[in-house]
Chains A and B, each alone.
Chain A
Amino acid sequence: MAMPDRFRLDGQVVLLTGAGRGLGRAMALSYADAGAKVAGASRTLSQLEETAELVAERGGEAISIATDVTDRAAVEAMVAETIDRFGRVDILMNNAGGGAEGDGSPLEQLTDDQWRWGIDMNLTSQMLCARAVLPHMTERGSGVIINVASGFGLRGGRDNWMYVSAKAGVVNFTRSLAVTYGPAGVRTNCIAPGIFPHTPQALERWRGGRYIPVGRAGVAWEMGPLAVFLSSSAAAGISGETIAQDGGGLAAIGPTGWAPRVRLTEPT
């Protein structure tokens, strides 16, 4: 591969949660292309095994670990198994997360359990994974953690409660990890994806619309190169940072295509 050397991850091991589908699967392929071995984790083993097969088809190496990322013991076992099988963890890609039941409901109807589950799934899970892997990284004096937040972690959404709160938490959790573990050689960054539909049909529905400034939604593979870049020594100067990959949404306000013209006038 002709990829510039600083972007390569040859021989490195990435522990990637939520690797069974969507963005996680796409990132698994990009990591493998960059030379990394992939330990994929999620709840559904059959999906992970499909990801591992796709990685193998591209000449990479992947293992599958069934895990519940909201369960401390399961997360610790996941890290132990990765180290047991591959000998090390260089990169933790905290990708697992998702929509929570209760988001979309008026706040008065939200139950305490729905709140706790949404925060557990999208914020506590990333803390558990980081906490489990950090002793290994700090002992070796190097490591990279990448947390996946969301455009909803940077702005509010109507009747969106747990997801926005947890993802905003991820953004600031990223900063404290960077500040705290930077001296031990661990860089931490965050990706805030915009809209990346799961199906080709959903992808098509966004095309040419006004909601996303560039006029299309994200395609899953597009997140892979950003993850690889942030994981590699090419991003040595970047830590504590959140990068929005959202087709220009965060930079915008108002409807896409709003392009006022106001003439310079003399004072009257």
Chain B
Amino acid sequence: MSDFVPTPNPEEPEDPFLLRGRVALVVGAGDPLGRAAAVGLAEAGADVAVASLRAGPQEVVRVNSVANEIWSLGRANTAITLDASDANSVDAAVARTSSELGGLDILVNAADLPVAAPLDELTPDDWHAILAANLLAPALTSRAAARVMKVNGYGRIINLVSVLAARGVANTSAYAAAHAGVLALTRALSQEWARSGITVNALQVGLYEGQHGFGDDPETVRQVARMLPAKALVQPEDVGPAVVAMAADSGFITGETIAVDGAATARV
């Protein structure tokens, strides 16, 4: 076991939810949750790099439009395309964020590759692709970001996962296993970097309307919503402020998973 250096107390900030002067990288910013995170962080005053996972034309348009929203909020930004399961590509994205925006304080992993099929139909190649996009990607981005964060002794890593990480649904074996893996990643890295000023937390998001692959079917959406106390699904916009709260935290919350699911996992 390594020796520990004393950790100082944090200064009480004038405004506990302001991120002025902080730089964030949001991976998967073309997805609704990633967009909400990026816009929320910019509203709180952070400069934000938005990264898209896929280089497809629609994705590029989506990410550029998020970059424009950040610009219209008066914050610096940059749009990046990366292959989040390729270490070189990830390292280059972090380096570009750092050089263009002047550092890296906050990493949001919002990349999400939804796949649902019975286990019998999932090939090993499917598994590799699902695990690469949903689990290896946040590990690689965290690794690259933490190299920068350790130098500054400050970092906030926030992993967005699906509620399927905690509850079982048929046909989601690989996807759910990958997302549950992200929660284990969150806990392990919270310990690995506990003395480096880096916190690692997860937001476990309930089914939301329009969620690609899971929230497309209106009948399913209606039935799931009916089971929630508020009788309505969570909105992607609810995730933005939760990301801000974790990004602005004083550093005593780490390794924790917070459900943003309208009490879906609170009930029997």
Question: Which A residues fall within an 8 A CB radius of B?
Answer: 1-4, 6-7, 30, 33, 174-175, 178-183, 194, 203, 207-210, 213-216, 218-219, 221-222, 224-226, 228-229, 232, 234-241, 243-248, 250-252, 255-259
Contacts and interface: CB of A to CB of B under 8 A. Distances in A.
Closest 5 CB pairs of A and B: A182-B229, A251-B255, A240-B266, A237-B238, A234-B241
Interface stretch (B120-128, B133-141, B245-253): B245-253
A208 B4 contact: yes
> Which one of A216, A240, A251, A258 has the highest number of Cβ atoms from chain B below 10 Å of its Cβ?
A251
A221 B12 contact: yes
A246 B252 contact: yes
Nearest to B253: A245
A255 B253 CA distance: 18
B13 to A, nearest CB: 8
16 contacts: A3-B18, A4-B18, A7-B17, A33-B16, A178-B229, A214-B194, A214-B252, A219-B252, A225-B250, A226-B245, A237-B261, A240-B229, A240-B263, A240-B266, A252-B255, A255-B1
Nearest to B187: A251
> Which one of B2, B9, B249 has the highest number of Cβ atoms from chain A below 10 Å of its Cβ?
B9
Nearest to B208: A237
Contacts of B244: 4, 7, 234
Given A182-B228, A183-B230, A240 B10 contact: no
A26 B199 CA distance: 23
A207 B262 contact: no
A215 B7 contact: yes
B266 A178 contact: yes
B254 interface: yes
Interface residues of B, number: 57
B254 A247 contact: yes
Contacts of A229: 17, 241, 245
A35 B242 CA distance: 20
Contacts of B45: 2
Main DSSP-derived SS at the B contact region: loop
Contacts of A181: 229
Contacts of B266: 174-175, 178-179, 239-241
Interface string B1-41: 11011111110100111100000000000000000000000
Interface of B: 1-2, 4-10, 12, 15-18, 43-45, 186-187, 190-192, 194-195, 199, 205-206, 228-231, 234-235, 238-239, 241-242, 244-245, 248-256, 258-263, 265-267
Main DSSP-derived SS at the A contact region: loop
A237 B252 contact: no
Given A175-B263, A213-B191, A194 B2 contact: no
A225 B249 contact: yes
A209 B194 CA distance: 12
Contacts of B16: 3, 30, 33, 224-225, 228
Given A237-B238, A251-B187, A215 B4 contact: yes
B252 A4 contact: no
Contacts of B12: 219, 221
